[in-house]
Amino acid sequence: MDPATALPCDPADLKAGATPTLLDLAPAEWGRHPLLAEEPPFRARQVREWVFGAGVTDPLRMTNLPEGLRRRLADDGAVTPLAIEREHLSADGARKFLFRTRDEHGVETVLIPAGDRRTLCVSSQVGCAMGCLFCASGLAGFTRNLTAGEMVAQVVMANGAASPAGRVNRVVMMGMGEPLLNYANLLSAMRLFTAEEGCGLGARRITVSTVGIPARIRDLADAGLGVHLALSLHAPTAALREKIIPPARRVPLDELMEAIRYYFEKSGREVLIEYILLAGVNDSEDEAQALARLVKRYRATVNLIPANPVVGLPYRPPAGDAIARFQREVRRRGIRCTVRRRRGDDVSAACGQLAGG
């Protein structure tokens, strides 16, 4: 599917009666927007260059457009379906954005700088239906899917907030929501992430994180986008996983892991196994050994994530050197195992802390 002509959102996901913004449309369709339809065709190209090239979504700053057009675009809110309501800067350099949708929902996104990497943690839904015990995103339940335009807007607007040398160069679909439960919009968004006339990111710089929807994992493999996949496993056995992630009781663990095998065989991309460490829940030596036995059958790397505190939830990371001991047990059995560095926890921007405001 050509990303220039693929509609990046399902019109049914737009608020009833709402006019699509430019980011709700495929780039090739921008010239048909009501405010650009009567303009020379090159005006739509100029606007695209401002939006995707410079991260500028305020039409009043698009200085090569006629003043009247700039004002009409601004007055109509025609460029982006999101507005930045607040920004929080962490002491470690991570930046959390609270975006407001046109129907007044809050969505959080985190920009994480590290050397020459600027990774954006993008949300795919308002809220989340998964109900993972340790995560703030699902505390208020699920509200709705984000459109592809709303996902792309997170990248574009984060670029606008960054310096010219600090544009987003990696996207991880690890924010609020379960991306594979918003599959059609996710695919459209990723096509614009990678398109030259869109965000221009390489597929190898995009990661989709999922709690595990086997059929959709296989669909994503078959789509041939070449993006990375991360599985939020969090437990080495079905019984324990069902306690941590309640919907897991509907997905046999063997079926899920075979979908992971299929993804690797189809895409050639080694899967990342995410494992949040919850003190007294899933951090024992026995569980480390069981995790290694499970993962050893697949081409995967384990990434340990010490739990981050969430107001109203009792879970904490293991104390002392328990994380290092767990890692050693996994590594001793020949599994590559890393520990995710905590970023942005002082502004509730770390893994599991995004709640939409």
- The catalytic residue positions are 108, 351
Environment class of 163 (CB within 10 Å of its CB; exposed 0-12, middle 13-18, buried 19+): exposed
Instruction: State the pairing for strand pair 95-101/82-89.
Output: antiparallel
Which amino acid would we find at residue 350?
A
- Name the token pair of 300: 């995967």
Q: Are 108 and 176 in contact (CB under 8 A)?
A: yes
Q: Are 227 and 217 in contact (CB under 8 A)?
A: no
Q: Are 21 and 79 in contact (CB under 8 A)?
A: yes
Q: Are 196 and 28 in contact (CB under 8 A)?
A: no
| Per-residue exposure over 26-58, b if at least 16 CB sit within 10 Å of its own CB, e if not | bbbbbbebebbeebeeebbebbbebbbeebbbe
Q: Are 253 and 259 in contact (CB under 8 A)?
A: no
| Helix runs in the chain, H state only | 41-48, 54, 67-76, 148-161, 183-194, 214-223, 238-244, 253-267, 285-295, 322-331
Helix axes 148-161, 183-194, angle to 10 degrees: 40
Count helices and strands (H / E) in the chain: 10, 12
